[in-house]
Amino acid sequence: MNASHRRTCPERSRRTADGGKLMRIPIIAGNWKMYKTEQEAFQLASDLKQRLKDVDGVKMVICPPFTSLSSVKRAIENSPILLGAQNMHWEEKGAYTGEISPSMLLTAGCKYVIIGHSERRNLFFETDNFVNLKVKSALKFNLSPIICVGEKLDQREANKTEEVVENQVRGAFKDLNAKDAEKTVIAYEPVWAIGTGRTATPQQANEVHLFIRELLSSEFGKECAEKINILYGGSVKPENSRELLDMPEIDGALVGGASLDAESFGKLVRSAKQS
């Protein structure tokens, strides 16, 4: 695989955009992290339901803390908004104090689960192997994993972005076949852009997305790779979302800070519809 050729070959990227992006419905996913009490979460979800009731053509996912899953599920009933979780254990049950299992998420109404977020990798020492076990388990339980990958600032500055991202993608997708792979979502989240107000430029993000798509294509075939949504994450807000989402390889966003406010999340969703 020759990465520099891919990046400098507009023909190729345009073909991907035409053949690929049109097939993929954009996903805007909100990662609420460790914010919102149960009551606050219910209120935010109810507000979103009201604001976004007429939206189609965009998949909307909100991922509250575990303690608010059931009240958020109630709040978004009969709305197009889907429920996700922020993490899970790979085992179905067992003596794993403080952990949550895939079947618990499924029965709580989750359709998605974020796996391998950089905060999990960096603060809680999650390895590629853990990520892989979780991805396989999520798929087994019919949860769509949103698999996060992304380089740290020093790695980007040392020109190691592709190496880091390739290792994370290969690690996460180990032992998967194309049928499984196409049920996943990837979020490219450069660590230096998460919660910092610093965003990758649309070109920087698109370049890495294209790199990931080509990697998936070489592993699972072009047809499968074209079906996988690759989201961008890292200080996405209504002011910058359009230019990011307009890029041919960016199929949505994983949003932290700006998903905690109904008005800004609503604007983000609407910007995805226009892209």
Cβ proximity to ligand PEP: between 113 and 255 the closer is 255
The helix/strand/coil state of 46 is helix
**Which residue carries 């107000």 as its tokens?**
197
189 lies in the binding site for ligand PEP (CB under 6 A): yes
Cβ proximity to ligand PEP: between 115 and 224 the closer is 115
Instruction: Give me the 41-80 binding string for ligand PEP, x by CB under 6 A, dash otherwise.
Output: ----------------------------------------
190 lies in the binding site for ligand PEP (CB under 6 A): no
Asked if 117 is an active-site residue, the reply is yes
194 lies in the binding site for ligand PEP (CB under 6 A): yes
254 lies in the binding site for ligand PEP (CB under 6 A): yes
Cα–Cα distance, 31 to 260 (Å, whole number): 8
Cα–Cα distance, 86 to 33 (Å, whole number): 7
Contact (CB, 8 A) for 122 and 154: no
Q: Which of 119, 151, 162, 189 is catalytic?
A: 189
233 lies in the binding site for ligand PEP (CB under 6 A): yes
The helix/strand/coil state of 105 is helix
236 lies in the binding site for ligand PEP (CB under 6 A): yes
Asked if 209 is an active-site residue, the reply is no
CB-count exposure of residue 51 (10 Å: 0-12, 13-18, 19+): middle
Token pair, residue 108, equals 């709580």
Cα–Cα distance, 29 to 60 (Å, whole number): 6
Residue 72: CB minimum distance to ligand PEP, A: 17
150 lies in the binding site for ligand PEP (CB under 6 A): no
Residue 97: CB minimum distance to ligand PEP, A: 25
**Which residue carries 């040392």 as its tokens?**
158
Cα–Cα distance, 244 to 232 (Å, whole number): 8
240 lies in the binding site for ligand PEP (CB under 6 A): no
Residues that bind ligand PEP (CB under 6 A): 31, 189, 194-195, 233-236, 254-258
**Which residues belong to the active site?**
117, 189
